[in-house]
Amino acid sequence: MGVNFLSPLAFVFAATIPVVVVFYLLKRRRATRVVPSTLLWQRYLAESQASTPFQRLRHNWLLVLQTLLLLLAVTALARPYFGGELSSGRLQVVILDASASMRATDGKPTRFDSAKLEALKLVDGLRDRDQMVLVHAGVSTEVRQSPTSVKSVLRRAIEQCAPSDAPTRLADALKLAETLTKDAPNSEIHLMSDGAAKDLDEFESQGLRINYHRMGVGGRNAAITGLDVRGHPEDPTQRRVLATVANLSSNAIQANLELRMEGRVLEVRNLTLEPRATSSQVFTTEQRSPEVVYSAKLDFSDDLPMDNEAAAVSQLPRPIRVILVTAGNKFLEKALRSHASAHLEVASSLGGQSPEADVVILDGVSPDPWPAVNVLAFRSAPAGWFTNSTELEVGGIVDWKPSHPLLQAVDLENVQIAKSLAVNPPSWAVSIVEAAQTPLVLAGDFQRNRVIWIGFDLYQSTWPLRVSFPIFISNAIEWLSPGAGGGAPASSRTGDPLRMMLPEGLSTIDITLPDQSARTIQLEAGTRDFLFGDTARAGVYSVRKGTQTARFAVNLADPAESDLWPREELRMGKHGGVGATTMKRADLEAWRWIAALGLAVLLWEWWFYNRRTV
C-alpha cells in the first residue's frame, strides 16, 4: 500500500509559503497619533522603535498556523490516494459484449454505450506499468487492441466498437481471455455484458479472475421471435405466414401486428399478451410473383426496437427434376410421385454422362462416373467411400436424430430391417439413423454436392409400409434441392452464414446489405457453392449472381436474446458462476480529509488571532 497523487502539479502552489514568511519579516509601518499618555502602550514600544524595513523572524504561532494551512491546501489540491502498486504491472482484458440485447435503450443511451463508459473508466485508472487488451464479442470474437498502456490508443479502440444484431456469444471471448491471461499472474478479466448468454454451459472458469460488470436496469420488451412462410396444402398460389410474438415484460401489453408484402400492408391485428406469454399468428395470403418478401412489424414502444420487425422471403415452388435409376421399385416410385413439386423420370442407367437433374436417386446401382449432382443412394457408393463394408443382420433401429431436417416428423419406432451393409462413416458424412451394429443412414456434403446414403434394400425392410417412408422421401427431396421446390429457409438468424449456389463461370458476385451498402466479392475459379458470413445486421440481403438476383432475410428470432432482464449471475459450466460486480472501496482519495483538517486549522487561526487582539 502506497501513497500516490492524481494531480502532482498542484505542488507548484507550495511556492506561496515563502511569501507568507516574507510578510512576517517586513517591518510594519505605523501612523503617528497624539495621545495624552503612553502608559498603556509600553508593551508595544519595542516594536515601534524598529527603523529597518526588515526585522528578525521571531516565533509566531500565527505564522505557524498559516504555513500549516497552506501545506494542507496544496496537499489536498494534489489529490493523494492510497492504493496497491504491483512491481510488474497488471494485465486487464476488457470484453465488450456486442450482442443485440446490448442495443437496449435503458442505458446511456444504450447498454453498449454504458459498457464503453465503464471501459473508459478502467482506461483512466491504468498505472504506468499496467496494460490492457480490448476484446469485441460480436458475431465473431475479435481482439480490437493488443496489450498496450497507451491510453489514447485504448480510448480510440473503445470508441470505434459498435454492437451487432446477433445473439450473445461469450464462450469464445472468455476462452480467448483465458489464453491471454494464462501466463500473466497479475491479470484480471472485465466482462461488460447484460448476461444474456446461452453458450456458457460448457465453459469452466477454472479460477479466472472475472469481473462481471452488469449492464442494463430493466426488461420492458416484446419481440417477433419467429417468422416463417409455408405453402398452402390446397392452393399452390397461396402462402401461410406464421408469426410468433412474445411478451418478455413483467406487465401485460397491447400492440398492433402488421403483415406486409413488399412494403404494402396486408393486414393489421390487435394483440393482447399477458406477461411472459407467446402468441402464434397465422396469416393466409395470395402470392402471384415467383418471389416476394413478407415482413411483420410489432407496433409497440419498448427498450429494444430492432426485434419488433422481421422479414421472410417466400418463393413459389418450381418443378424439381428427379431421375430414379432402378431395376424396378414400386414403393420408391410411388413415394416420389406423391411429392407435389417432383418431376420424376425413371431410367435403368445414366448412360455414362452427368445427368441434367436436380436430384438423382440410385436404387442398388453404382454408376461410373458418379453423378456430379445431389444424390440419394440405396446400397450404392463409389470406390473409396468405405474402407470395409460387410453385410449383416440388423433387426430394429435403435437411434435416430429427429432434429435433422431429413427426419422432421419421421417416426422410425416400428421399422424392422433384415440385412444392411455395415460401414464406417467417412469424414464428410454424419449418421442420422443407427442400428446396434452399424449406421443405416448417412448424410453430408461430398465434393460440393449433398448426399444421402442408405445401407439397406427397401424390400428387406418394413419401412415402405410405414407412414414415415413417404414423409422421409419428401424431406429428402427438399433437402437435396434447397430452394428448388420452395423449401428454402424463409429466413436465417443473424450471425449465421448464408449459403448460395452459384452458376458456372462467375468471377464476382455483388451483395447489397440491409443498410443499402454494396459489396463486390471476388470468387475463385470454379466456385459453385459460396458462404457469406457477414450477417451481423438484421434485414434483407440482395445478391446479384450474373444475370440472377436472389434475396435472403436475416432476423434475430431469439427469445433468449430478446429477454432483456439483466442477469445477476453468469452460470458457467455445471457448478461455476460469476456474480455481478458490486462497488467496493479501492484506491481511496484522501484530499477530503486533508481539506477538512485545513478548515479546522483555519478556524483555529481565526480564534487564536482574535484571542490575541482582544
Co-location of 190 and 276 in the same domain: no
pLDDT at 166: 93
Top pLDDT among 573 and 185 is at 185
Top pLDDT among 483 and 191 is at 191
Which residues have a Cβ under 8 Å from the Cβ of 575 and sit 6 or more positions away?
none
Co-location of 378 and 463 in the same domain: yes
Q: What letter represents residue 491's amino acid?
A: S
Residue 424 falls within a domain, yes or no? yes
pLDDT at 74: 79
Co-location of 393 and 509 in the same domain: no
Q: What is the dihedral of CA 293, 298, 301, 307, to 10 degrees?
A: -60
Extract the C-alpha cell encoding 68.
500549516
Give the confidence band of 510 by pLDDT, cuts at 50, 70, 90: very high
Give the confidence band of 41 by pLDDT, cuts at 50, 70, 90: low
- pTM for the complete prediction? 0.67
Co-location of 472 and 355 in the same domain: yes
Residue 486 falls within a domain, yes or no? no
The answer to whether residues 130 and 92 touch, using CB atoms and an 8 Å cutoff, is yes
Co-location of 469 and 325 in the same domain: yes
pLDDT at 607: 77
- Provide the b/e sequence for 29-39 (b: ≥16 CB within 10 Å): eeeeeeeeeee
Range list of β-strands (E), 14-106: 80-83, 91-97
pLDDT at position 51 over 50: no
Co-location of 608 and 459 in the same domain: no
Q: Look over the chain and give the mean of its residue pLDDT values, rounded to a whole number.
A: 85
| CATH code for the domain in which residue 275 is found | 2.60.40.10
Co-location of 349 and 451 in the same domain: yes
Q: Which of 200-214, 302-316, 539-553 has the lowest mean pLDDT?
A: 200-214
Give the confidence band of 588 by pLDDT, cuts at 50, 70, 90: low
| CATH code for the domain in which residue 143 is found | 3.40.50.410
pLDDT at 271: 95
The 8-class DSSP code of residue 515 comes to: T
Instruction: Report the C-alpha gap between 265 and 544 in whole angstroms.
Output: 27
Co-location of 63 and 6 in the same domain: yes
Residue 487 falls within a domain, yes or no? no
- Cell 432476423 locates to 555
pLDDT at 149: 94
**Residue (of 119, 133, 148, 129) closest to 180 by Cα position:** 133
pLDDT at 551: 92
Residue 532's domain comprises: 492-555
Co-location of 423 and 390 in the same domain: yes
Co-location of 457 and 542 in the same domain: no
- How many percent of the chain have pLDDT more than 90? 48
Residue 485 falls within a domain, yes or no? no
| pLDDT tens per residue, range 326-338 | 988 999 999 999 8
- Report the number of distinct structural domains present in the chain: 5
Q: Which of 19-33, 47-61, 142-156, 443-457 has the lowest mean pLDDT?
A: 47-61
| pLDDT tens per residue, range 218-263 | 899 999 999 988 877 677 778 899 999 999 999 999 999 999 999 9
pLDDT at position 448 over 80: no
Residue 582 falls within a domain, yes or no? yes
Average pLDDT value for residue range 539-565: 91
| CATH code for the domain in which residue 390 is found | 3.40.50.880
Co-location of 43 and 176 in the same domain: no
